[in-house]
Amino acid sequence: MISGEDFKDTDGNQINAHGAGALYYNETYYLFGEIKKGKTWLVPGQSWEDYRVPAGGVSCYSSTDLKHWKNLGTALRSVTGDPSNDLDTGRVIERPKVLYNEKTNKFVMWFHNDRNDYQDSKAGIAISDSPEGPYTYLGSIKPNNQMLRDMTLFKDIDRKAYVVYSSEDNNTMHVCLLTDDYLKPTEHYTRILIDRNRESPALFKNNGKYFLITSGCSGWSPNAASYATANSIMGPWTEIGNPCSGTNAEQTFFAQGNYVLPINGKPSNFIFMGDLWNKLDLEKSGYLWIPFEVIDGEVKINN
């Protein structure tokens, strides 16, 4: 288990990969996350604690054992001093996720791209010839003209890919099939967890069943996670309850989930990856990674 701020790379430096996602490719795990560095400030005029730090782009680390992580540098760079640019440090670059597309031999990155007040609510899309990048930014989009905020990507065993995201002012989650090149949304999507106010989706599959772990909407403050299951990714989805148990389970152990990483070669073993947000100094936010198993179709996460 990884817990707290002490999560260092092979050079001894603190890993900077928040809101992270992971990719397993060619017997190597790649970790992608938000680079948070600089002074934290509070965006004025918001109805919630809209704390921000300059958007530093997307980092990439690699590991073959999930213990030792090598810093591969910045996969997607931000720009400075151009507020009209989606990648400007004054904007939002959050929750990057990467898939490999076997048809195009491209690595495809999606992330939540936004203004500081969250009113753009778009997906940013970038591609690369290698997992570590550099990634070429292609632009931003609203899938089916719907809001996209917290999001994740999922590739099924048939190599079809989906983007799952908080939409409708975070009231409802959407699951949307992507085009074969993973670069655009299709019109085939479904609304799930309707009026449940969930965010930070983490989707995985076990024994033919789909599992989706989400958090409540409480800004940077922790809350109780919940998970739902479905026999088809497009639903119907059934809410089960809090997957966490033990001390501080009702606060998800003070973390917010961002991804569930399947362990290669162990089909019922996963890692719950979360952020321990420090809203007053986001650069110092820590991590919580907890190994867990799916037992008799139930998710059991205990720290």
Maximum distance among all Cα pairs of the chain, rounded to whole angstroms: 53
Per-residue confidence (pLDDT) for residue 1, from 0 to 100: 81
Distance CA 88, CA 24 (A): 29
Distance CA 298, CA 214 (A): 15
Distance CA 295, CA 16 (A): 32
Per-residue confidence (pLDDT) for residue 3, from 0 to 100: 85
Say if residues 40 and 279 touch (Cβ distance below 8 Å).
Answer: yes
Parallel, antiparallel, or unpaired: how do β-strands 18-25 and 2-4 relate? Answer: unpaired
Per-residue confidence (pLDDT) for residue 250, from 0 to 100: 98
Helix (H, G, I), strand (E, B) or coil at 249: helix
- Signed CA dihedral, 133, 173, 273, 251: sign only: positive
Per-residue confidence (pLDDT) for residue 5, from 0 to 100: 77
Say if residues 276 and 267 touch (Cβ distance below 8 Å).
Answer: no
* 40, 49, 56, 285 from 52: Cα distances, Å: 5, 9, 11, 12
* Amino acid identity for residue 87 in this structure: L
Among residues 264, 257, 290, the alpha carbon closest in space to that of 63 is found at: 264
Residue 282 DSSP label: G
Residue 88, token pair as written in the block: 């400007």
pTM of the model: 0.97
Distance CA 158, CA 102 (A): 11
| Cα R_g (the chain), whole angstroms | 18
- Stated as kind and residue range, the H or E segment containing 69 is none
What does pLDDT average to in each consecutive run of 10 residues of the chain (303 residues)?
87 97 98 98 92 97 97 98 96 98 98 96 98 98 98 98 98 98 98 98 98 97 98 98 97 98 94 97 96 95 92
Distance CA 67, CA 158 (A): 30
Residue 135 DSSP label: P
Per-residue confidence (pLDDT) for residue 103, from 0 to 100: 98
Residue 284, token pair as written in the block: 């110092």
